[in-house]
Structure 1
Amino acid sequence: MMLAHAPRQWADQDDLPGSSSSSERCAPEEPPWPPYTLLDEAGIWRELRILARPHSTPLGPNGSFKADSVNFQPAPSAKTQDRYVVTQLEVNGRLWAFTGVFDGHLGDVTVEHVSHHLPIIVREFLTEAEAANPGVTPAHEIISGCFNKAITAFDNAIAHDVLDLFGGSVDELDKYTDAQIREIINDQHKGGANWQKARLCMYGTTALVALVDPEHKNLWIANLGDCEAFMASPSSTNPSEYKVEALTATHNGDNPAEIERVQRSHPGEPECVVDNRVLGAIAPTRCFGDIPFKQPPAFTRHILYNLFPGFHNTSPWEEFLMRNQTPPYITAEPQIIHRRLDGDDAQMTTQPAAPLPRFLILASDGFSALCDGERQERVIESWARSMVQHDPPPSVTDAQPGSRMDNMALRLLRLALGGDDRFGVSRLLTLDVPDDSWIDDTSIVIRTI
């Protein structure tokens, strides 16, 4: 968004997130880099609200808790592939709080499908778990198992809904000609049900979802991919300070444990991971979809190559399909974390009587990129302290605490973008690069705990 009355500045390539000088104003060099608009404080907050579309949702009985959320991508021509969900699942007349962030890749088809349907699937599994004793929350191990089963069953259905059109297995595909397969899956003229199923297999999405029981005694987090969850809690030794704990691991090529897991599952296959990418092609090691990495190459060659509109050039796909010997290489097995919220868990740093709130932060990997990775906890700790101040400075927010415009996620986004650095924040909000995005999509969901 460019404001005609504001002075124009010029951004150097090193100004972009992840560079060593991202918080400094750099002099232009030849050739000139795209211009940006220097905004005043009011302009910054106006642009943030337009670009991030902040939203607030009450949670729990009588709205005693709340969740704030943003989905941010400043490039005007870029369509965000992030999604978030904040909802409550009614199970036997009781409300479970469900929040999540999803980071799609290659396209937004699968992320849209997963973000819409996963809460429904989780609710079905919770209903089944409570059937034996309605109105009573099952043991946390049972809920963890339900969470795991809901996610893996949902992912398995993505490929098998397509294979069921051809006898139920990849081996059956050899019985069909390419012309027959094209006729079956390209049914757009008949409503497109099969076409929609096949399209889900082409794309993928990470998922980070949190579940809180109706009694607000337990928190479960399920993670697939490189979104991250943090808990910000008042310090047990100094209540005016906050302790920030990273709750999840990242499931991508930057995590040596994940690389070792993939390699261990595929002995004798040195190219199962190349340059920290699965089969040399994709960074996440756990996610929904991405069926070419979970099924034999015949699935991609028979199904996806025959899907319209399809691949104009299959050579990039063939490069990694030639390495695909013993799938799956990517899993939908989530990391499950359980925490007690009523003070009985020794890992929690706050007792129920603590005067200050706790915060659960769920963020896509765009947040890590804005923070240059290593300073995420410092940004969150500074943000958490500002949230409980009665008179925060203008660099933190332009809204009174508790007002309709006082959005927790928007505050955290502002700090991640650069906080007091008006030049840096203006660059990221208004850099004039019409044909491409210059930062990763960033979704943040914050809920009080």
Structure 2
Amino acid sequence: MAHFLSSIGLMPSDEEDSKAGYLLATFSDLHQVAAASALVAGGAFYAYRRPEPVQEASPTALGPRSHTTVSAATNLEEIPDAVRKALIVEQGQLFTSVIPNDEPISKETDDYGRKVLEMMTPEQVTQRLRTNEESYLVGRGRGVVRYDVVQIPSNDPIEDDHAEKIVEVPQDVAATQDGTASSDWMFWGVFDGHAGWTTSAKLRQVLISFVARELNETYRSALTNPAMTFPTAESVDEAIKKGFVRLDNEIIHDSVSKVMKAQSKRVAAELLAPALSGSCALLSFYDSKSKLLRVACTGDSRAVLGRRGTSGKWTATPLSVDQTGGNAEEDARLRREHPGEKYVTMNGRILGGLEPSRAFGDAVYKWSKETQDKVNSSYFGRTPSKYLKTPPYVTAEPVVTTTKVMPEKGDFVVMATDGLWEMLTNEEVVGLVGQWLDTQSKHPGSAPGGQNSWLKSWFSTQKAALPIEHSDTGPDAGGQRAPIRQQQWGVTASSDDRFVVEDKNAATHLVRNALGGKDQDMISALLTLPSPYSRRYRDDLTVEVIFFGEGEETGKVELNNEASASAGVEGVKAKL
């Protein structure tokens, strides 16, 4: 019986990953399925052929997918009625195949030495996408009505993390220029770890607290000044930056002092782990009284604002800039700080190694050589770069932007680690959320109070594929990198018809479409491939979508059951 193979256009990245550095290797410990017996030439997206001698796979990346073609010599009657899909990995290329349902899962390789994995079904794909989704309805009547979050790991364990917190500010701190009092401080953070998960976990635990402490002192200080009733914009920005830097100093420098004092390898293992790994950080701070949203970015995660334009469609405005060695401004800053050092950035990387130019941890780019030698000789560490001369080269100080949010117009913000932005443009992301909102507005929630009632007043039905206003300066202006995965996968960037709406959680909706949308073979292949091999095709994904609006005043933050995997799980409580 003939088996048929179809290339899905996925090619591994040519260069080592910017953070974890994984390489696609030969599969050796995987649960394998039986053979598919023909290899398709790399040029076509779907090309069915009769079994033929195995051919050498093309080493070059696949171009844009061609239309479906079927060889005239193919006997379509030979395709079995009951089949399962398989994923084949050969020389860095991924292919899909079909195998009969009754064929046993027994071989390590197929007849030609290729490694084969059984593909996830569409139902399994959906289950995987929704495993970590959360959604919260914010009934505090102060400008935020809902936020959704989801995570999809590629590394094992996932190196991303996230945190959310809503703080009810005391009256003696919240007083503003108009003399009124009482407000919420709302924080959302996404943390993109690299070289391990410990730094991002540390940020999840304490970064918001460090920043809130500095903000508290700044607001109180302003109130004690008779000439002021509200802190200056510059002082608020400085408070956020101070919170970031103080935490990183604790991670990098205080940890070494404590380890040297304790003289314990157990203490060293605990305290030095967040210093030796690293993490980018993206933190949004919303003051409900001023309606100002501040976005603090350290690294290459990204925040984008979605706002309705005059046409009724959405506009995409970046609220952060990707901070890497390839960013011209960051490169210039580093060369000013380290004059005469030719390799301060090389190939878009700091000292030729790390891609983010700002990050927490990453002690090998911050410790002096003497400190690194001392830590390495007494405990453990990482080998410093041969170009290390005048550290620190990497800083945790964020770049802070401020935006006046318009809840009455239904603004929303998407925050995500760079795994999402490698797959979608800013405009695609905002357009996808607009598409999702359009679909949800047609199906108001049936829960008490109507979970989706806040949608009705600010979305009119759009017939276009994505309801987005395209910028004259291009889909991604303002310092962000283009989605490299679209080229890697052979995706036509302008093809809006590849998207689909199937999820109640807006963040899950974005991830599904980032991984393939309507292309079931692509999304299944990307989720079937296990860690660490998946890392060459996709990164860890953490996505948050924050919806602003004029919602009902219930005083509560409640789990949104219809868009949360933990709905109905005993012991799960809403976050505050």
Q: TM-score range by the shorter chain?
A: 0.7 to 0.9
**Cα distance in structure 2, aligned partners of 1:9 and 1:443:** 33
- Residue of structure 1 equivalent to 2:363: 291
Q: For 1:441, which of 517, 520, 540 is the aligned residue?
A: 540
Question: 2:161 matched to 1:83?
Answer: yes
Question: 2:142 matched to 1:69?
Answer: no
- Listed as ranges, the matches of 1:165-244 within 5 Å are 165=258, 184-188=262-266, 192=267, 195-215=269-289, 217-235=291-309, 237-239=310-312, 241-244=313-316
Question: 2:437 matched to 1:387?
Answer: yes
Report the 3-state secondary structure (helix = DSSP H, G, I; strand = E; otherwise coil) of the residue aligned with 1:328: coil
**Cα distance in structure 1, aligned partners of 2:65 and 2:520:** 9
Q: Which has the higher contact order (CA 8 A, sep 6+)?
A: 1
Q: Please say if residues 34 and 433 of structure 1, whose CA atoms lie closer than 8 Å, have aligned partners that are also in contact.
A: no
Structure with greater proportional helix content: 1
Question: 2:416 matched to 1:363?
Answer: yes
- Listed as ranges, the matches of 1:19-418 within 5 Å are 32=114, 34-37=116-119, 39-40=121-122, 42-50=123-131, 53-59=132-138, 61=140, 65-73=145-153, 78-92=156-170, 94-132=183-221, 133=223, 138-165=231-258, 184-188=262-266, 192=267, 195-215=269-289, 217-235=291-309, 237-239=310-312, 241-307=313-379, 310=380, 317-318=383-384, 320=385, 322-342=386-406, 353-354=408-409, 357-371=410-424, 375-389=425-439, 390-391=441-442, 396-398=500-502, 406-418=504-516
**Cα distance in structure 1, aligned partners of 2:243 and 2:145:** 26
For residue 255 of structure 1, report the CA deviation from its aligned partner. Answer: 1.4
**Cα distance in structure 2, aligned partners of 1:91 and 1:204:** 32
Q: Please say if residues 436 and 501 of structure 2, whose CA atoms lie closer than 8 Å, have aligned partners that are also in contact.
A: no
Q: Please say if residues 223 and 248 of structure 1, whose CA atoms lie closer than 8 Å, have aligned partners that are also in contact.
A: yes
For residue 195 of structure 1, report the CA deviation from its aligned partner. Answer: 4.3
What's the % identity of the aligned pairs? 24
- Residue of structure 1 equivalent to 2:462: none
Report the 3-state secondary structure (helix = DSSP H, G, I; strand = E; otherwise coil) of the residue aligned with 1:268: coil
Report the 3-state secondary structure (helix = DSSP H, G, I; strand = E; otherwise coil) of the residue aligned with 2:305: strand
**Cα distance in structure 1, aligned partners of 2:442 and 2:185:** 34
Query: What is the identity, as a one-letter code, of the residue corresponding to 2:127?
Result: R
**Cα distance in structure 1, aligned partners of 2:336 and 2:404:** 33
Report the 3-state secondary structure (helix = DSSP H, G, I; strand = E; otherwise coil) of the residue aligned with 2:193: strand
Q: What are structure 1's unaligned runs of at least 5 residues?
A: 1-6, 167-180, 343-351, 400-405
Flag the structure with larger Rg: 2
**Cα distance in structure 2, aligned partners of 1:150 and 1:433:** 34
Summarize the Cα distance change of 1:353–1:213 in structure 2 as closer, same or farther, 3 Å threshold.
closer
- Residue of structure 2 equivalent to 1:169: none
For residue 410 of structure 1, report the CA deviation from its aligned partner. Answer: 0.6
- Residue of structure 1 equivalent to 2:529: 431
For residue 359 of structure 1, report the CA deviation from its aligned partner. Answer: 1.1
Deviations 1:78-136 (A, max 9, x none): 211000112113432643110011011111111111221011111211221222439x7
**Cα distance in structure 2, aligned partners of 1:200 and 1:353:** 41
Summarize the Cα distance change of 1:228–1:31 in structure 2 as closer, same or farther, 3 Å threshold.
farther
Summarize the Cα distance change of 1:264–1:423 in structure 2 as closer, same or farther, 3 Å threshold.
same
Matched residue count: 389
**Cα distance in structure 1, aligned partners of 2:113 and 2:429:** 34
**Cα distance in structure 2, aligned partners of 1:104 and 1:305:** 26
For residue 31 of structure 1, report the CA deviation from its aligned partner. Answer: 6.1
Summarize the Cα distance change of 1:110–1:384 in structure 2 as closer, same or farther, 3 Å threshold.
same
For residue 248 of structure 1, report the CA deviation from its aligned partner. Answer: 1.1
Query: What is the identity, as a one-letter code, of the residue corresponding to 2:210?
Result: I
For residue 243 of structure 1, report the CA deviation from its aligned partner. Answer: 0.7
Report the 3-state secondary structure (helix = DSSP H, G, I; strand = E; otherwise coil) of the residue aligned with 2:422: helix
Report the 3-state secondary structure (helix = DSSP H, G, I; strand = E; otherwise coil) of the residue aligned with 1:443: strand
RMSD across aligned C-alpha pairs, in angstroms? 3.3
**Cα distance in structure 1, aligned partners of 2:248 and 2:365:** 13
Q: Please say if residues 507 and 545 of structure 2, whose CA atoms lie closer than 8 Å, have aligned partners that are also in contact.
A: yes
Deviations 1:336-381 (A, max 9, x none): 0011125xxxxxxxxx643xx211011101112233xxx3422431
Q: Please say if residues 185 and 288 of structure 2, whose CA atoms lie closer than 8 Å, have aligned partners that are also in contact.
A: yes
Q: Please say if residues 96 and 521 of structure 2, whose CA atoms lie closer than 8 Å, have aligned partners that are also in contact.
A: no
For residue 160 of structure 1, report the CA deviation from its aligned partner. Answer: 2.6
Query: What is the identity, as a one-letter code, of the residue corresponding to 2:207?
Result: L
